[in-house]
Amino acid sequence: MEGAALKGHLDSILLAALEERPLHGYAVIESLRLRSRGAIDLPTGTIYPALHRLERARLVRSRWSTVSGRKRRTYELTAAGRRALAGKRGEWNEFKSALSSLIEARREEALA
Amino acid sequence: MSRRGRYVEAFVRVIAAQLPGPSDARQEILDELRDGLLAASEAHERAGAQPATALQLAIGEFGEPAAIARGFLPELALRRARRIAATLSGSVVLVIAAWLTAARTRDITHSQPLFDSSAAHLAAALLLGLLVFAAGLTFISSGSGSRWLGTTRVPVFGAVALAVLAVLTE
């Protein structure tokens, strides 16, 4: 699944990836690959601007540390980020449920 | 520097050449990309790839340098706008302080008061007020306000704020 198919859902996906623990940019990518069993494979370069945008919105915060002699930026969810994720989950479940009922209804019509 | 380090630096330099904006903001972006590239390369090595192949895979995963740089342009523009707004807000404070100091000096020397209801003074006060308003809009639309403004209203707020700032500072 590429970037275009995920348009509009990137923020939710990133917030969900950071839900369990703080991660640096590339670890976010690895987590997405692992959790989606390889279905979600975004170009790594697109993740960083999205994480920065979430930080500007105060949904995540970042910390700098030094790992193996190089600077590393790690992101974690803020309280506002957790609330936003819960809200997006609710919206997603409603959307998914509405879409499922529409598609299933059409299938039943086709069979009738 | 290792061979891998040199390749990563070369890749980062290509991106750096396409990033405008404040140097501290650019440096943060480049530091983060450098770490990401090295982390990606290390992950591929752990998965069994040879170092050269691992680096190639990491660079391939990141995408085209031009596309990566383009992704950061809105952020860098916003940071520049916030910096300008902060400088202008500081200027307004200095202007008001200078104005008050001048008014006090005139009061002490019993000369004509600096403040009156003339059109020029009202226009100056209005201009300063608008400047602060525009700077405030810039901060809101480019910072935490983007959360409740939503993706549609952020560009509108930002455009209004920047237009007002541009007119006032021209």
CB pairs under 8 A between A and B: 80
CB atoms within 10 A of CB B104: 11
Highest mean pLDDT among A54-58, B113-117, B120-124, B160-164: A54-58
| Mean pLDDT to the nearest integer, B28-44 | 94
pLDDT at res. A38: 83
- Report ipTM for this prediction: 0.82
Q: In this model, does residue A66 exceed pLDDT 80?
A: yes
Residue B22 gets the label, from left (phi > 0), alpha (psi -120 to 50) or beta, of: beta
Between CA B143 and CA A80 the distance in angstroms is 14
Please name the residue of chain A whose CA is at the shortest distance from the CA of residue B68. A45
Give the least confident one: A73-87, B54-68, B108-122.
B108-122
The C-alpha angle A99, A105, A110, rounded to 5 degrees, equals 130
Q: In this model, does residue A90 exceed pLDDT 70?
A: yes
DSSP string, B113-164: -S--S-HHHHHHHHHHHHHHHHHHHHHHHHTTTHHHHHHHHHHHHHHHHHHH
3-state secondary structure A58-102: CCEEEEEEEECCEEEEEEEECHHHHHHHHHHHHHHHHHHHHHHHH
A60-67/A23-24 β-pairing: unpaired
> Which of A14, A29, A56, A85 best probes binding to B when mutated, by most B CB atoms within 10 angstroms?
A56
Q: Per residue in B101-139, pLDDT tens?
A: 877 776 666 656 555 667 777 777 787 787 777 777 777
Q: In this model, does residue B170 exceed pLDDT 90?
A: no
> What are the DSSP E strand ranges found in A12-69?
23-24, 60-67
SS3 B79: helix
A71 contacts in chain B (CB < 8 Å): 31-32, 34-35
Q: Which of A5, A77, A91 is nearest to A41 (CA)?
A: A5
Q: In this model, does residue A22 exceed pLDDT 70?
A: yes
pLDDT at res. B102: 77
Identify residues of B whose CB sits under 8 angstroms from chain A CBs: 28-29, 31-36, 38-40, 43, 61-64, 67-68, 71-72, 74-75, 78, 142-144, 146-147
